[in-house]
Structure 1
Amino acid sequence: MIASRRNHSSELPPEVRREIGAVLRAARESRRLSQRAVAARLGITPAMACNMERGQRRVPLERMETVAQVYGVDPEHLERPPAVTRDADEAALLSAFRHMPEDERAALLALVQS
């Protein structure tokens, strides 16, 4: 459960909402889901899903847990992104890394650090 709902995404600065949206988009793409599929699972329009991913629409408070489950993200990330991202590519990389098995993560880190 989300610790504090006072700082709901509608009260967040636009750049933070965009970062949350980038995390959602990267998570959706890493799960190979279309915006239409996400929208159908959430009972919203594809345009609403698109606007959430662009940071133009807040994640509805009453659907926060469901949105997190459909996208496969931690519900906390819907209020604060897990890391500052610069663009969608970086967010996609971060999301893919989080979904990797531990052995693959270790191998990738070893490659990057060499």
Structure 2
Amino acid sequence: MRPARTSDAAFLRIDRRPPSRPRFAATGPRPRGIPSTVELSERQTVAGIIREARLRAGLPQAEIAHLLGASQTALSGWERGDEPVPFARRAQLAGLYGFDLSLIAGLDAESVALNDDERSLLTAFRHMPAADRRALLELARP
């Protein structure tokens, strides 16, 4: 028996890297920490609403962050949609800007920063009996 030469033992060396695999399968469950497209869309909606409300109020991020007891970096991330807005902060923001918390659940940004008259009308409308609401809506429709 002759001794093995280096070229004969070449097949024993691991020269090649194993084939790469994706981090997760497209059809399998999503790993923690990677947001879904639905979550990203919701983040962008909330981000647009709170940013629009702040701009309409004419307040700088630093002042809002101070009033919330949060950092300006965190507020900036929320307004860009980089980070989700915690529910407690959503409630604080709604109270600060004077709109209903349900608006941050994804409704349009046009109705976020209501003026005092609109807010009074909306509050009165919500407390009216159903028949009075229908009558008022009939008056308001063109």
Question: TM-score scaled by structure 2?
Answer: 0.49
Q: Is structure 2 residue 104 aligned with structure 1 residue 75?
A: no
Q: CA deviation at 1:62?
A: 3.0
Return the alpha-carbon distance in structure 1 between the equivalents of residues 92 and 116 of structure 2: 23
Correspondence 1:13 to 2:39: yes
Name the larger-Rg structure.
2
Residue type at the aligned position of 2:62 = R
Match of 1:35 in 2: 61
**Larger helix proportion of the pair:** 1
Q: Say yes or no: does 1:99 pair with 2:112.
A: no
Identity %: 27
The answer (yes or no) to whether the contact 2:97–2:113 under 8 Å persists in 1 is no
Structure 1 consecutive aligned stretches of length 4 or more whose deviation exceeds 3 Å: 95-102
CA RMSD of the aligned region, Å?
A: 2.5
Q: What is residue 85 of structure 2 aligned with on the other side?
A: 59
Alpha-carbon offset, residue 55 of structure 1: 1.5
Give 5+ residue unaligned stretches, structure 1.
1-9, 84-90, 103-114
The structure showing larger relative contact order (alpha-carbon pairs under 8 Å, at least 6 residues apart) is 1
Question: Structure 1 length normalisation: TM-score?
Answer: 0.59
How many equivalent pairs are there? 83
